[in-house]
Structure 1
Amino acid sequence: MTFDMNDAQPQQSGDLIPDGTFAKVVMTLRKGGTDGMSEVDRGLLKLSSQPASDVRMLDAEFTVAEGQYARRKFWQNFTVQGGKLDEQGQSIGWKISKSTFRAMIDSALGLNPDDMSDAAKAKRVLRGLADLDGISFVAKIQIEASKNPSYKDANKLEHVVLPTAPEWKKVMSGEAVPPQPSAKPRPAAAALALPLAPAWGQSQGPSAPAAPVWGTQAVAAQPAPTSPPPAAKPAAGPAWLNP
Protein backbone atom coordinates (compact mmCIF):
# COMPACT_ATOMS: atom_id res chain seq x y z
CA MET A 1 0.00 0.00 0.00
CA THR A 2 1.24 3.49 -0.84
CA PHE A 3 0.26 6.95 0.38
CA ASP A 4 0.06 9.54 -2.38
CA MET A 5 0.70 12.97 -0.86
CA ASN A 6 0.27 14.87 -4.14
CA ASP A 7 -3.41 15.53 -3.52
CA ALA A 8 -2.80 16.98 -0.05
CA GLN A 9 -3.19 20.71 0.46
CA PRO A 10 0.12 22.62 0.61
CA GLN A 11 1.27 23.53 4.11
CA GLN A 12 -0.10 26.90 5.13
CA SER A 13 2.27 29.69 6.02
CA GLY A 14 2.68 30.51 9.68
CA ASP A 15 2.60 34.22 8.86
CA LEU A 16 -0.09 36.24 10.53
CA ILE A 17 -3.00 37.80 8.68
CA PRO A 18 -1.96 41.46 8.15
CA ASP A 19 -3.05 43.90 10.82
CA GLY A 20 -6.26 45.73 9.90
CA THR A 21 -7.50 43.10 7.42
CA PHE A 22 -11.26 43.04 6.67
CA ALA A 23 -12.71 39.60 6.01
CA LYS A 24 -15.82 37.48 6.31
CA VAL A 25 -15.26 34.94 9.08
CA VAL A 26 -17.11 31.99 10.59
CA MET A 27 -17.04 31.54 14.36
CA THR A 28 -16.98 27.99 15.74
CA LEU A 29 -17.34 27.37 19.47
CA ARG A 30 -15.04 24.86 21.12
CA LYS A 31 -16.54 23.16 24.17
CA GLY A 32 -14.62 23.56 27.41
CA GLY A 33 -16.55 21.06 29.55
CA THR A 34 -18.25 23.52 31.95
CA ASP A 35 -21.99 24.19 31.91
CA GLY A 36 -23.32 27.63 31.02
CA MET A 37 -26.50 29.28 32.28
CA SER A 38 -28.90 27.74 29.74
CA GLU A 39 -29.81 24.21 28.77
CA VAL A 40 -28.22 24.50 25.31
CA ASP A 41 -24.92 25.61 26.88
CA ARG A 42 -24.19 22.40 28.78
CA GLY A 43 -20.46 21.70 28.64
CA LEU A 44 -19.87 24.78 26.49
CA LEU A 45 -17.78 27.06 28.72
CA LYS A 46 -14.09 27.02 29.53
CA LEU A 47 -12.62 27.73 32.97
CA SER A 48 -9.81 30.20 33.54
CA SER A 49 -6.36 28.64 33.88
CA GLN A 50 -5.84 30.61 37.09
CA PRO A 51 -6.94 28.47 40.07
CA ALA A 52 -8.36 31.37 42.11
CA SER A 53 -10.29 32.90 39.23
CA ASP A 54 -14.07 32.57 38.86
CA VAL A 55 -13.95 33.57 35.19
CA ARG A 56 -15.71 31.34 32.67
CA MET A 57 -15.13 31.88 28.99
CA LEU A 58 -16.40 31.08 25.54
CA ASP A 59 -13.60 29.54 23.46
CA ALA A 60 -14.03 30.71 19.86
CA GLU A 61 -12.25 29.68 16.67
CA PHE A 62 -12.51 32.05 13.70
CA THR A 63 -11.99 30.84 10.13
CA VAL A 64 -11.70 33.26 7.22
CA ALA A 65 -14.47 32.20 4.84
CA GLU A 66 -13.24 33.59 1.53
CA GLY A 67 -10.73 35.82 -0.19
CA GLN A 68 -6.94 35.97 -0.03
CA TYR A 69 -6.74 34.48 3.47
CA ALA A 70 -9.49 31.87 3.12
CA ARG A 71 -9.22 28.96 5.60
CA ARG A 72 -6.78 30.85 7.82
CA LYS A 73 -7.72 30.63 11.50
CA PHE A 74 -7.31 32.54 14.74
CA TRP A 75 -8.63 32.01 18.25
CA GLN A 76 -10.05 34.16 21.02
CA ASN A 77 -11.72 33.75 24.42
CA PHE A 78 -14.71 35.81 25.55
CA THR A 79 -15.51 36.10 29.25
CA VAL A 80 -19.15 35.26 30.00
CA GLN A 81 -19.14 34.84 33.78
CA GLY A 82 -17.04 36.04 36.73
CA GLY A 83 -14.25 38.55 37.03
CA LYS A 84 -14.21 42.24 37.87
CA LEU A 85 -17.44 44.15 38.44
CA ASP A 86 -18.34 47.74 37.66
CA GLU A 87 -19.84 50.29 40.08
CA GLN A 88 -23.29 48.74 39.60
CA GLY A 89 -22.03 45.25 40.40
CA GLN A 90 -22.21 44.14 36.76
CA SER A 91 -19.49 42.01 35.22
CA ILE A 92 -17.34 44.24 33.02
CA GLY A 93 -16.10 41.44 30.77
CA TRP A 94 -19.58 40.08 30.07
CA LYS A 95 -20.85 43.52 29.10
CA ILE A 96 -18.02 43.81 26.56
CA SER A 97 -18.60 40.27 25.23
CA LYS A 98 -22.36 40.78 25.04
CA SER A 99 -21.91 43.94 22.93
CA THR A 100 -19.58 42.00 20.61
CA PHE A 101 -22.09 39.15 20.24
CA ARG A 102 -24.88 41.59 19.43
CA ALA A 103 -22.67 43.17 16.75
CA MET A 104 -22.01 39.69 15.29
CA ILE A 105 -25.76 39.12 14.91
CA ASP A 106 -26.29 42.53 13.31
CA SER A 107 -23.40 41.92 10.90
CA ALA A 108 -24.56 38.40 10.05
CA LEU A 109 -28.18 39.35 9.40
CA GLY A 110 -27.64 42.80 7.89
CA LEU A 111 -29.39 44.58 10.75
CA ASN A 112 -28.98 48.30 11.31
CA PRO A 113 -27.68 48.59 14.89
CA ASP A 114 -30.14 51.45 15.49
CA ASP A 115 -33.09 49.29 14.47
CA MET A 116 -35.00 48.56 17.68
CA SER A 117 -38.22 47.44 16.04
CA ASP A 118 -39.90 44.36 17.50
CA ALA A 119 -38.81 42.28 14.51
CA ALA A 120 -35.14 43.30 14.84
CA LYS A 121 -35.12 42.83 18.61
CA ALA A 122 -36.56 39.32 18.24
CA LYS A 123 -33.65 38.38 15.96
CA ARG A 124 -31.19 39.27 18.72
CA VAL A 125 -32.71 36.84 21.25
CA LEU A 126 -30.68 33.65 21.86
CA ARG A 127 -31.61 30.47 23.67
CA GLY A 128 -28.00 30.39 24.83
CA LEU A 129 -24.50 31.19 23.64
CA ALA A 130 -24.40 27.89 21.75
CA ASP A 131 -26.71 29.50 19.18
CA LEU A 132 -23.72 31.60 18.05
CA ASP A 133 -21.88 28.50 16.83
CA GLY A 134 -21.34 28.80 13.07
CA ILE A 135 -22.29 32.47 12.79
CA SER A 136 -20.72 34.22 9.79
CA PHE A 137 -20.03 37.96 9.87
CA VAL A 138 -17.61 40.63 8.66
CA ALA A 139 -14.61 41.22 10.93
CA LYS A 140 -11.65 43.53 11.16
CA ILE A 141 -8.63 41.47 12.23
CA GLN A 142 -5.73 42.83 14.20
CA ILE A 143 -2.31 41.58 15.31
CA GLU A 144 -2.09 41.52 19.08
CA ALA A 145 1.42 41.82 20.49
CA SER A 146 2.31 39.10 22.98
CA LYS A 147 3.07 40.25 26.52
CA ASN A 148 5.07 37.07 27.12
CA PRO A 149 8.31 36.69 25.12
CA SER A 150 7.76 32.93 25.16
CA TYR A 151 4.74 33.32 22.90
CA LYS A 152 4.36 34.78 19.43
CA ASP A 153 2.09 37.64 18.44
CA ALA A 154 -1.36 36.48 17.39
CA ASN A 155 -4.32 37.49 15.26
CA LYS A 156 -7.40 38.61 17.18
CA LEU A 157 -10.79 40.10 16.41
CA GLU A 158 -10.35 43.88 16.57
CA HIS A 159 -14.04 44.55 16.08
CA VAL A 160 -17.12 43.34 14.25
CA VAL A 161 -17.87 45.35 11.11
CA LEU A 162 -21.49 46.51 11.13
CA PRO A 163 -23.75 46.82 8.06
CA THR A 164 -23.64 50.60 8.35
CA ALA A 165 -19.89 50.61 7.56
CA PRO A 166 -18.81 50.84 3.89
CA GLU A 167 -16.35 47.97 4.40
CA TRP A 168 -19.24 45.61 5.29
CA LYS A 169 -20.93 46.11 1.94
CA LYS A 170 -17.66 45.67 0.05
CA VAL A 171 -16.70 42.45 1.85
CA MET A 172 -20.21 41.00 1.49
CA SER A 173 -20.11 41.68 -2.26
CA GLY A 174 -16.71 39.98 -2.61
CA GLU A 175 -14.75 43.19 -3.16
CA ALA A 176 -11.22 43.39 -1.76
CA VAL A 177 -10.77 46.01 0.96
CA PRO A 178 -7.28 47.39 1.71
CA PRO A 179 -6.13 46.71 5.29
CA GLN A 180 -6.44 49.54 7.78
CA PRO A 181 -3.78 48.82 10.43
CA SER A 182 -4.68 49.61 14.01
CA ALA A 183 -2.91 52.54 15.61
CA LYS A 184 -2.14 50.42 18.66
CA PRO A 185 -3.01 46.72 19.23
CA ARG A 186 -5.36 46.31 22.17
CA PRO A 187 -5.46 43.55 24.80
CA ALA A 188 -8.01 40.83 24.11
CA ALA A 189 -11.44 41.56 25.58
CA ALA A 190 -11.44 38.04 27.00
CA ALA A 191 -9.14 39.09 29.82
CA LEU A 192 -11.97 41.09 31.37
CA ALA A 193 -14.73 39.78 33.61
CA LEU A 194 -18.47 39.25 33.28
CA PRO A 195 -21.82 38.83 35.12
CA LEU A 196 -22.80 35.60 36.83
CA ALA A 197 -26.22 35.63 35.18
CA PRO A 198 -26.40 36.98 31.60
CA ALA A 199 -29.41 39.27 31.14
CA TRP A 200 -30.49 37.49 27.99
CA GLY A 201 -30.78 34.23 29.93
CA GLN A 202 -33.58 35.59 32.08
CA SER A 203 -36.13 35.97 29.31
CA GLN A 204 -36.27 33.31 26.65
CA GLY A 205 -38.69 32.91 23.79
CA PRO A 206 -40.31 29.62 22.75
CA SER A 207 -38.03 26.65 22.18
CA ALA A 208 -36.16 26.59 18.88
CA PRO A 209 -34.72 23.88 16.62
CA ALA A 210 -31.64 22.10 17.97
CA ALA A 211 -29.00 23.70 15.75
CA PRO A 212 -29.04 27.27 14.39
CA VAL A 213 -28.13 27.73 10.73
CA TRP A 214 -26.08 30.87 10.15
CA GLY A 215 -25.31 30.11 6.51
CA THR A 216 -28.10 32.24 5.02
CA GLN A 217 -26.92 35.26 3.05
CA ALA A 218 -27.15 38.52 4.98
CA VAL A 219 -29.30 41.20 3.38
CA ALA A 220 -28.42 44.86 3.00
CA ALA A 221 -28.74 46.86 6.19
CA GLN A 222 -32.14 48.46 6.60
CA PRO A 223 -32.50 51.97 8.03
CA ALA A 224 -33.93 52.26 11.50
CA PRO A 225 -37.71 52.80 11.38
CA THR A 226 -38.92 56.35 11.91
CA SER A 227 -42.28 55.31 13.36
CA PRO A 228 -43.24 52.36 15.61
CA PRO A 229 -44.04 49.26 13.51
CA PRO A 230 -46.84 46.83 14.37
CA ALA A 231 -46.02 44.47 17.21
CA ALA A 232 -44.21 41.36 15.97
CA LYS A 233 -44.87 37.86 17.21
CA PRO A 234 -42.11 36.43 19.40
CA ALA A 235 -39.52 34.54 17.38
CA ALA A 236 -39.33 30.80 17.92
CA GLY A 237 -35.63 30.95 18.75
CA PRO A 238 -32.84 32.83 16.94
CA ALA A 239 -33.71 34.60 13.71
CA TRP A 240 -31.31 32.47 11.68
CA LEU A 241 -33.50 29.49 12.58
CA ASN A 242 -36.51 31.24 11.09
CA PRO A 243 -35.46 32.74 7.75
Structure 2
Amino acid sequence: MSVINYVDVEYVDHANPIPDKTIVKVCLTLKQGYCDRLNDGTPLGFPATESTQSGSIYLECEYTVIEGEYHNRKIFDIIGLYSPKGETWATMGRSFIKGILSSARRVSTKDKSHIAQKAFMINSYADLNGLVFLVEVKVERRDGYDPRNRIARVITPDHKDYERLMRDTHNPYRTSNQSPTQAHAEDNDVLDDEIPF
Protein backbone atom coordinates (compact mmCIF):
# COMPACT_ATOMS: atom_id res chain seq x y z
CA MET A 1 0.00 0.00 0.00
CA SER A 2 1.41 3.40 -1.01
CA VAL A 3 1.67 6.26 1.46
CA ILE A 4 1.07 9.96 1.05
CA ASN A 5 4.25 11.79 2.04
CA TYR A 6 3.98 15.14 3.84
CA VAL A 7 7.58 15.19 5.12
CA ASP A 8 8.73 18.03 2.86
CA VAL A 9 5.47 20.02 2.87
CA GLU A 10 5.87 23.52 4.28
CA TYR A 11 3.51 24.14 7.19
CA VAL A 12 1.97 27.62 7.16
CA ASP A 13 0.55 28.80 10.48
CA HIS A 14 -2.50 30.98 9.81
CA ALA A 15 -3.48 31.27 13.47
CA ASN A 16 -1.68 34.57 13.93
CA PRO A 17 -2.44 37.22 11.29
CA ILE A 18 0.23 39.25 9.56
CA PRO A 19 0.85 42.35 11.71
CA ASP A 20 -1.06 45.55 10.95
CA LYS A 21 0.53 47.90 8.38
CA THR A 22 2.94 45.23 7.07
CA ILE A 23 3.78 45.63 3.38
CA VAL A 24 4.01 42.39 1.40
CA LYS A 25 4.37 41.37 -2.24
CA VAL A 26 1.39 39.32 -3.39
CA CYS A 27 0.10 37.43 -6.40
CA LEU A 28 -3.61 37.84 -7.14
CA THR A 29 -5.89 34.92 -7.93
CA LEU A 30 -9.54 35.53 -8.78
CA LYS A 31 -12.07 33.00 -7.57
CA GLN A 32 -14.71 32.15 -10.17
CA GLY A 33 -18.33 32.91 -9.43
CA TYR A 34 -21.43 32.56 -11.59
CA CYS A 35 -22.17 36.12 -12.70
CA ASP A 36 -20.74 37.06 -16.09
CA ARG A 37 -22.57 40.37 -16.63
CA LEU A 38 -23.51 43.48 -14.72
CA ASN A 39 -27.18 44.38 -14.35
CA ASP A 40 -26.98 46.71 -17.36
CA GLY A 41 -25.75 43.82 -19.51
CA THR A 42 -22.08 44.80 -19.50
CA PRO A 43 -20.01 41.61 -19.96
CA LEU A 44 -17.34 41.06 -17.32
CA GLY A 45 -15.10 38.63 -19.17
CA PHE A 46 -14.73 36.72 -15.92
CA PRO A 47 -17.42 35.05 -13.78
CA ALA A 48 -17.78 37.31 -10.73
CA THR A 49 -19.71 36.66 -7.52
CA GLU A 50 -23.20 38.04 -6.90
CA SER A 51 -24.40 38.40 -3.32
CA THR A 52 -27.75 36.72 -2.73
CA GLN A 53 -28.40 39.10 0.18
CA SER A 54 -27.45 42.53 -1.14
CA GLY A 55 -27.50 41.97 -4.91
CA SER A 56 -23.97 43.36 -5.15
CA ILE A 57 -21.48 42.00 -7.67
CA TYR A 58 -17.81 41.69 -6.81
CA LEU A 59 -14.57 39.90 -7.55
CA GLU A 60 -13.60 37.38 -4.89
CA CYS A 61 -9.83 37.66 -4.48
CA GLU A 62 -7.09 35.51 -3.01
CA TYR A 63 -3.79 37.29 -2.41
CA THR A 64 -0.83 34.96 -1.85
CA VAL A 65 2.32 36.40 -0.29
CA ILE A 66 5.12 35.28 -2.58
CA GLU A 67 8.26 36.10 -0.60
CA GLY A 68 9.65 37.14 2.75
CA GLU A 69 8.72 36.25 6.31
CA TYR A 70 5.07 35.61 5.45
CA HIS A 71 5.70 33.58 2.29
CA ASN A 72 2.66 31.51 1.21
CA ARG A 73 0.27 33.26 3.61
CA LYS A 74 -3.07 34.03 1.99
CA ILE A 75 -5.32 37.06 2.36
CA PHE A 76 -8.92 36.99 1.18
CA ASP A 77 -10.81 40.11 0.16
CA ILE A 78 -13.20 41.41 -2.48
CA ILE A 79 -13.31 44.16 -5.12
CA GLY A 80 -16.68 45.77 -5.70
CA LEU A 81 -18.07 46.02 -9.24
CA TYR A 82 -21.73 46.89 -8.67
CA SER A 83 -24.09 47.76 -5.83
CA PRO A 84 -27.84 48.39 -6.11
CA LYS A 85 -27.35 51.15 -3.53
CA GLY A 86 -25.44 53.39 -5.92
CA GLU A 87 -22.16 54.03 -7.72
CA THR A 88 -19.87 54.59 -4.73
CA TRP A 89 -18.88 50.97 -4.20
CA ALA A 90 -18.16 50.40 -7.90
CA THR A 91 -16.14 53.63 -8.01
CA MET A 92 -14.05 52.39 -5.08
CA GLY A 93 -13.54 49.13 -6.94
CA ARG A 94 -12.34 50.89 -10.09
CA SER A 95 -9.92 52.99 -8.03
CA PHE A 96 -8.61 49.87 -6.30
CA ILE A 97 -8.06 48.11 -9.64
CA LYS A 98 -6.20 51.15 -10.99
CA GLY A 99 -3.97 50.94 -7.92
CA ILE A 100 -3.30 47.26 -8.65
CA LEU A 101 -2.35 48.06 -12.25
CA SER A 102 -0.14 50.94 -11.10
CA SER A 103 1.70 48.75 -8.61
CA ALA A 104 1.92 45.64 -10.80
CA ARG A 105 2.95 47.49 -13.96
CA ARG A 106 5.03 50.11 -12.13
CA VAL A 107 3.44 53.11 -13.80
CA SER A 108 2.36 56.34 -12.14
CA THR A 109 -1.38 56.94 -12.05
CA LYS A 110 -0.60 60.47 -13.24
CA ASP A 111 1.52 59.42 -16.21
CA LYS A 112 -0.42 60.39 -19.35
CA SER A 113 1.99 58.91 -21.89
CA HIS A 114 0.75 56.45 -24.48
CA ILE A 115 2.60 53.57 -22.83
CA ALA A 116 1.18 54.46 -19.43
CA GLN A 117 -2.36 54.68 -20.77
CA LYS A 118 -1.91 51.21 -22.22
CA ALA A 119 -0.84 49.96 -18.78
CA PHE A 120 -4.18 51.01 -17.32
CA MET A 121 -6.24 49.07 -19.85
CA ILE A 122 -7.40 45.47 -19.48
CA ASN A 123 -9.34 43.29 -21.89
CA SER A 124 -11.37 41.76 -19.07
CA TYR A 125 -11.15 41.20 -15.33
CA ALA A 126 -9.41 37.92 -16.12
CA ASP A 127 -6.31 40.01 -16.92
CA LEU A 128 -5.94 40.70 -13.18
CA ASN A 129 -5.22 37.01 -12.55
CA GLY A 130 -1.58 36.44 -11.73
CA LEU A 131 -0.57 40.08 -11.31
CA VAL A 132 2.17 40.67 -8.73
CA PHE A 133 2.12 43.88 -6.67
CA LEU A 134 2.55 45.35 -3.21
CA VAL A 135 -0.14 45.77 -0.58
CA GLU A 136 -0.34 47.04 2.97
CA VAL A 137 -2.09 44.59 5.25
CA LYS A 138 -4.44 45.40 8.09
CA VAL A 139 -5.86 43.23 10.86
CA GLU A 140 -9.64 43.06 11.10
CA ARG A 141 -11.05 42.09 14.48
CA ARG A 142 -14.58 40.69 14.69
CA ASP A 143 -16.72 39.81 17.67
CA GLY A 144 -16.78 36.04 18.19
CA TYR A 145 -14.20 35.31 15.49
CA ASP A 146 -10.43 35.16 15.25
CA PRO A 147 -8.78 38.27 13.78
CA ARG A 148 -8.09 38.09 10.06
CA ASN A 149 -6.08 39.99 7.49
CA ARG A 150 -7.58 42.26 4.88
CA ILE A 151 -6.03 44.57 2.30
CA ALA A 152 -5.70 48.11 3.65
CA ARG A 153 -4.37 49.63 0.43
CA VAL A 154 -2.28 48.97 -2.64
CA ILE A 155 1.28 50.29 -2.45
CA THR A 156 2.02 52.23 -5.63
CA PRO A 157 5.33 53.67 -6.94
CA ASP A 158 5.10 56.86 -4.86
CA HIS A 159 5.86 54.92 -1.66
CA LYS A 160 9.42 55.36 -0.36
CA ASP A 161 10.03 51.59 -0.16
CA TYR A 162 8.30 50.65 -3.42
CA GLU A 163 11.39 50.20 -5.62
CA ARG A 164 13.29 48.29 -2.96
CA LEU A 165 10.40 45.91 -2.33
CA MET A 166 9.50 45.36 -5.98
CA ARG A 167 13.17 45.19 -7.13
CA ASP A 168 13.40 42.49 -9.85
CA THR A 169 9.69 42.36 -10.69
CA HIS A 170 9.37 42.69 -14.48
CA ASN A 171 8.09 46.05 -15.71
CA PRO A 172 7.08 46.19 -19.38
CA TYR A 173 5.12 49.44 -19.06
CA ARG A 174 7.20 52.13 -17.38
CA THR A 175 8.32 54.81 -19.84
CA SER A 176 12.06 55.09 -20.32
CA ASN A 177 12.26 58.61 -18.87
CA GLN A 178 10.24 57.87 -15.73
CA SER A 179 12.26 57.78 -12.53
CA PRO A 180 11.53 55.20 -9.81
CA THR A 181 10.15 57.87 -7.49
CA GLN A 182 8.15 59.83 -10.05
CA ALA A 183 4.81 58.13 -9.51
CA HIS A 184 2.11 59.65 -7.32
CA ALA A 185 -0.90 57.37 -6.92
CA GLU A 186 -3.85 57.76 -4.63
CA ASP A 187 -4.43 55.41 -1.70
CA ASN A 188 -7.16 52.78 -1.99
CA ASP A 189 -9.65 51.95 0.73
CA VAL A 190 -10.36 48.35 1.60
CA LEU A 191 -13.56 46.88 0.23
CA ASP A 192 -15.92 44.69 2.20
CA ASP A 193 -18.89 42.45 1.47
CA GLU A 194 -20.91 44.56 3.91
CA ILE A 195 -21.76 47.25 1.39
CA PRO A 196 -22.42 50.65 2.96
CA PHE A 197 -23.38 52.40 -0.26
TM value normalised by structure 1: 0.65
Q: Check conservation: 2:12, 2:72, Cα contact below 8 A.
A: no
The equivalent residue for 1:164 is: 158
* Matching residue within 48, 51, 55 for 2:51: 48
Q: Check conservation: 1:22, 1:167, Cα contact below 8 A.
A: no
The equivalent residue for 2:43 is: 38
- Compared CA separation, residues 82 and 10, structure 1 to 2 (3 A): closer
In 2: Cα distance, 1:65 partner to 1:79 partner: 24
- Compared CA separation, residues 137 and 11, structure 1 to 2 (3 A): closer
The answer to which structure has the higher strand fraction is 2
In 2: Cα distance, 1:71 partner to 1:5 partner: 17
1:107 partnered with 2:103: yes
3-state DSSP of counterpart to 1:40: strand
Q: Check conservation: 1:38, 1:127, Cα contact below 8 A.
A: no
Give the aligned residue type for 1:47.
E
* Matching residue within 153, 158, 161 for 2:147: 153
Q: Check conservation: 1:23, 1:64, Cα contact below 8 A.
A: yes
In 2: Cα distance, 1:56 partner to 1:62 partner: 19
In 1: Cα distance, 2:44 partner to 2:21 partner: 37
Q: Check conservation: 1:161, 1:167, Cα contact below 8 A.
A: no
Structure whose CA Rg is larger: 1
In 1: Cα distance, 2:58 partner to 2:85 partner: 14
Q: Compute the RMSD of aligned alpha carbons.
A: 2.2
Give the aligned residue type for 1:84.
K
* Matching residue within 120, 123, 140 for 1:124: 120
In 1: Cα distance, 2:49 partner to 2:14 partner: 29
Runs of at least 5 residues in structure 2 that lack an aligned partner in the other structure = 183-197
**Following superposition of structure 1 onto structure 2, how do residues 41-120 of structure 1 map, counting pairs within 5 Å?**
41=46, 44-50=47-53, 53-85=54-86, 91-120=87-116
3-state DSSP of counterpart to 2:164: helix
